Chain A
Amino acid sequence: MHIRIEKVAFRYSDEVKALNDISLTINQGERVAFIGHNGSGKTTLVKHLNGLLRPSEGKVWIGSHQTENMSVAALARMVALSFQNPDDQISKRRVWDEVAFGPKNLKYSKTRTHDLVERSLALFGLLPQMNYNPYDLGYSERKRAALASIIAMDTPIVVFDEPTAGMDTHEIRLLKGVLDKLQQETKTVIIISHDMDFVAEQFPRVICLKNGEKRFDGSSRTAFEDKDLLASCRLRQPQIARLSSYFERAELALTPGEFVRGFHR
């Protein structure tokens, strides 16, 4: 199920374009990170993927369906989108029920729902808390529950908006495990993130937005080497990339292993 965005423009009202002339394609199974400064249009663009927003100009296709012809509930079977603040969606008194919310809305069978919820909770380390009230847990646990509820929907495309904000490294490690699992199931994973170290390590492709326009779409290696791009989009260079640039490596290293291997040249 590919995603095709064709010359999409979006205006909130009759004024400045929040998005202008965006075209891109994402194939099934890809891992893509949207990066860019606050207000560059990342969240606006991503809301077009599940129909929360409809383009003012241009078209958005999910698979063979054009989003304009489908309701958000219908698109939710294909694209599961998580929001930044878990407190904007938690509506059940038990973590289990909260994670089951999505599958139930999509009318999955009882067994399928049970299995999906259990699996999601396990992936996010929340099985011990499955009967707790989400509000008896801390913010980051609620965040994990919210993310779990998204992957429990078992959709071919998953979108996370700033998943690592507020997470400690242990939780980020859990998230990396989740991303690996999703990749094994050839699901498309899209994130929006400010955490350049995380993006550099986990996402081979980045799309950088600036002021509502697409400024860069390509390999993260190329992006994190381009100091002008990073400066103009107000992004910090990931730590290892910075080391690698400093030592003028031929190929930019994005992980400790890559950097150290670069010594044997």
Chain B
Amino acid sequence: MLRPEKKSVATLFVSRKTWLHKLHPFNKLAYILLTGVVVYLGPAEWYVKAILIVLNLGLAIRGEVFKATWRLVWRTLLPLAFFMIVIHGLLYPENRTILISFYGVHFCQEGFLFALNILLQLTAVLTASLIFVLCTHPTDLITAISQAGFPQSLAYLVGSPMLLLPMMRARIRTIQDAQRSRGLDSEGSFKKRFLALFPLVAPLVLGSLVEIEQRSIALEIRGFSTTGPKTSFRTLSDTKWQQLLRWAMLSVSMLIIIYRIWK
């Protein structure tokens, strides 16, 4: 009988066999960088960002992860969009043109457009990031990092939260249960709930330290610190073409940054 804690794996990765999945993780990361540089430092026109968003959604379709991308974009941005539009529409310093007003409170165009611009930028970067997260098997990312010559520990640092986070979440629930079982009142007023957080911290941190210590030993026993060439059981394809594409994206990003600074 599986319990929920044991079932959940914290990765958003969706397993498919598309070229996007086979693409080297660093290419996808470079693409996120490129997207970010273009929307934040590139031409300011709104349609540039819109085109990128449409492009990314197209890529998502190609990667067979459109549904997940669409769902996550709305889930993340909708609440944010609401707040941003309201706050900037009302309070943006350069507000002049009134669009709607009620009871003396004016909602203006300038703020509205400002908020929209930010949202477009965020959406572009978010969609690019989602493509990376949804189409990259975490082990491939870890492998890419160690094959690139980065220290093993960095690869580990990046890779381990994905599996260990759900364990940590389960642990937090257990700690909460244990403290509540000893009379800690965590229901009711906000103040009570807030104060009830403190007895969670120590067991979480200290217990995690014990866990980390044991895991470090276990890793050593599995030859984690050996020097010398390591094999990767999962094959990670990295053709010349992919490497060229990567460098191309990085170069374009650099050029845009330099251009901006120079301007």
Contacts and interface: CB of A to CB of B under 8 A. Distances in A.
- Say if the two chains contact directly (CB < 8 Å): yes
Interface of A: 12-13, 16, 18, 39, 41, 47, 50, 52, 71-73, 76-77, 80-83, 85, 87-92, 101-102, 105-106, 135, 149-150, 153, 211-212
Given A18-B1, A39-B1, A212-B1, A87 B183 contact: no
Contacts of A18: 1, 3
B172 to A, nearest CB: 10
Given A88-B175, A88-B207, A52 B180 contact: yes
Given A18-B1, A52-B177, A91 B171 contact: no
Contact of B182 (A47, A85, A149): A149
Q: Which of A39, A89, A90, A106 has the most CB of B within 10 A?
A: A89
Contacts, number: 83
User: Top 7 A-B pairs ranked by shortest CB distance?
Assistant: A105-B183, A89-B178, A91-B202, A73-B185, A87-B207, A76-B183, A102-B182
Contacts of A80: 181-182
B202 to A, nearest CB: 4
Contacts of B185: 71, 73, 105
Nearest to B187: A71
Given A52-B180, A73-B186, 7 more contacts: A12-B4, A73-B184, A76-B180, A77-B183, A88-B175, A90-B202, A105-B184
Contacts of B171: 88
- Tell which of A71, A149, A212 has the most Cβ of chain B within 10 Å: A71
A102 B180 CA distance: 9
Interface string B182-214: 111111100000000011111100110010000
Contacts of B203: 87-91
A165 B28 CA distance: 48
B250 to A, nearest CB: 45
Contacts of B237: none
For chain B, give the interface size range.
20 to 34
Nearest to A76: B183
Contact of A153 (B3, B177, B178, B182): B182
Among B182, B184, B186, B199, max chain A CB count under 10 A is at B182
B174 interface: yes
A136 to B, nearest CB: 11
Interface of B: 1, 3-4, 171, 174-175, 177-188, 198-203, 206-207, 210
A89 B182 contact: yes
Contacts of A50: 181
Nearest to B175: A88
B179 A89 contact: yes
A73 B180 contact: yes
Nearest to B199: A91
Nearest to A15: B2
A41 B206 CA distance: 29
Nearest to A13: B4
Nearest to B3: A12
B9 to A, nearest CB: 16
Given A73-B183, A102-B183, A83 B3 contact: no
